[in-house]
A and B are shown apart, each in its own frame.
Chain A
């Protein structure tokens, strides 16, 4: 079976979606690159976005469907809403999720609400692909995750894959989905690899995944935090603590059943989220468990998150900011 990086898996899913549906288009800043210099050889498709994820799409599918934009996010996000309402399946790239602010209105008030507000006759089948995550030494304005910002809004779906397999399957599903979907790609995971079948089917949104089964402690890990959960679980196994790792994969809708089943079994839960703690996915999942599984709990749900600060630049501070395997192990041992 072919081994793919997350980056390649996403590119594959885009190519496949473009081939299967002529209504799929892609818009974003330098998703091809080299605009205005086409007369020189080798300048087209020079970037493929800052991480090279969309490399090759322009050459394969042309300028009509793969559109470089100006730095006008509110403009092309709004255009995606209108195009989606009238028959296209636009994918728009928000280069870093930190730029959400300049075009959030189009997502929060237009994309999310037209179906409901206008009597259920319309749908907005668009996907926002965006890059999230700390650990890149990229500073406060290029490192946030902001999962909960979108999850909070009724009408938006939120997906955050961990590995290449899920990235491909979930992106295929997101593009086919009839609702607006925010698809979050973690910059520290792009180069991680796993087996991804060429004929992988779309993975339904709203289905979580048990990455490792166990009986003693449930670790619910959000996106990159699965890496630390796996590391911690390995170490804890040496002390005969057998962890179950749950990767919810999508946050709206959330696979609550999968989480509750695991909590019933273990009675001890750690939620790991690299976002800021207040009104976060971690606090949301914790509160759901407290509401629905109170009698199953053997101790209070533990949350491991970033502190309530922006993401700092300097390595020692940023490493301190991000949750770690050690932090998970410490909490697990103190249950």
Chain B
């Protein structure tokens, strides 16, 4: 792997972790409005998949989107400003934490409705196919989402139409307060793809390099063979469903055990094998922390939107007096 990519991967991993830790802190202090869903434990999946994508490839995300947005190279200051509800936010303060999206970075959207993303990404992939486009299309969703009809209908159509795209399922052990090993009907989550005769691969979602490798190969296979591919990455949701969740249903023993496989810890342990020495690692870490601090400093001082901004951009064209 070339040095630039390697540095990028580490920087993104650290940035997401520092960012989410800061979000946890401000959630406790109640300094920002609304629901906050953090993704501590998902860093390797966010970064590993995005490392295999081009900057303008399409993705969809969910309410748990901070890691995806950061890894997709969305502007960190604008992400933070959005979470603070400010005018300079990435969605002008209209979306908030649950809907961080930047179309210019290929983010089709972060949807609050479980399984809303896969059909939308199917549509983007269909567009690429029809127009002989080169962009890859990737939908991120959770283990809980595989029970929803929208996922199944998208999977069926993608397979039937030979659409190159990736269904990336993050199996983090929980859908809200419900454990994955209870809610699955199949032995393995990715077995669900067999119903559609869809190719699938599983990987360790805590190992950023494994995620990257699997995704990279899947993209090549998907494009060459014109097929959708289902990827399941297993990890652990250290965060609660949302900030403020009591997490009573996540046994202490389980959380402790999962810490052995913390994606950041694994990446640090792995860094020597990839030729990153401790000094360089420390340097990257500091840059990441600094950028996070700067982003929050920026967001805190940004102006609020004007109340009447609520009326803008509902439509492309519409009589103003009818809003």
Which positions in A face B, CB cutoff 8 Å? 29-30, 33-37, 40, 42-43, 46-47, 50, 68, 70-75, 98-99, 101-102, 136-142, 307-310, 312-321
Contacts and interface: CB of A to CB of B under 8 A. Distances in A.
B123 interface: no
B7 to A, nearest CB: 34
A46 B177 contact: yes
B180 interface: yes
18 contacts: A34-B248, A35-B183, A37-B179, A40-B251, A46-B246, A46-B248, A70-B144, A70-B178, A71-B115, A71-B148, A139-B99, A140-B94, A141-B111, A309-B310, A309-B323, A313-B85, A316-B306, A316-B307
A141 B110 CA distance: 11
A33 B310 contact: no
Given A43-B249, A314-B93, A139 B85 contact: no
Interface string B46-87: 000000000000000000000000000000000000000110
Interface string B145-163: 1011110000000000000
B93 A30 contact: no
| Residue from B94, B99, B115, B314 with most neighbouring chain A CB atoms (10 Å) | B94
Contact of B93 (A50, A70, A317): A317
Contacts of A137: 33-35, 85, 96
A300 B242 CA distance: 46
Contacts of A310: 94, 314
Contact of B177 (A30, A308, A314, A321): A30
B142 to A, nearest CB: 9
Contacts of A99: 113
B101 to A, nearest CB: 12
B93 A312 contact: yes
B282 interface: no
A320 B248 CA distance: 37
A287 to B, nearest CB: 18
Given A68-B178, A316-B305, A102 B113 contact: yes
A145 B168 CA distance: 32
B310 A138 contact: no
A39 to B, nearest CB: 9
Contact of A29 (B93, B149, B176): B176
| Residue from A46, A138, A139, A318 with most neighbouring chain B CB atoms (10 Å) | A139
Contact of B113 (A141, A317, A319, A321): A141
A36 B181 CA distance: 7
Nearest to A318: B310
Given A72-B148, A98-B113, A43 B308 contact: no
B246 A98 contact: no
Contacts of B93: 312-314, 317
B177 A47 contact: yes
A321 B98 contact: no
Contacts of A47: 176-177, 249
A278 to B, nearest CB: 9
A321 B323 CA distance: 12
Interface in B294-308: 304-308
A312 B96 CA distance: 9
Given A99-B113, A141-B112, A321-B310, A315 B178 contact: no
The 6 A-B pairs of least Cβ separation, nearest first, read A36-B182, A36-B179, A313-B96, A320-B307, A314-B93, A33-B177
B284 interface: no
A35 B34 contact: no
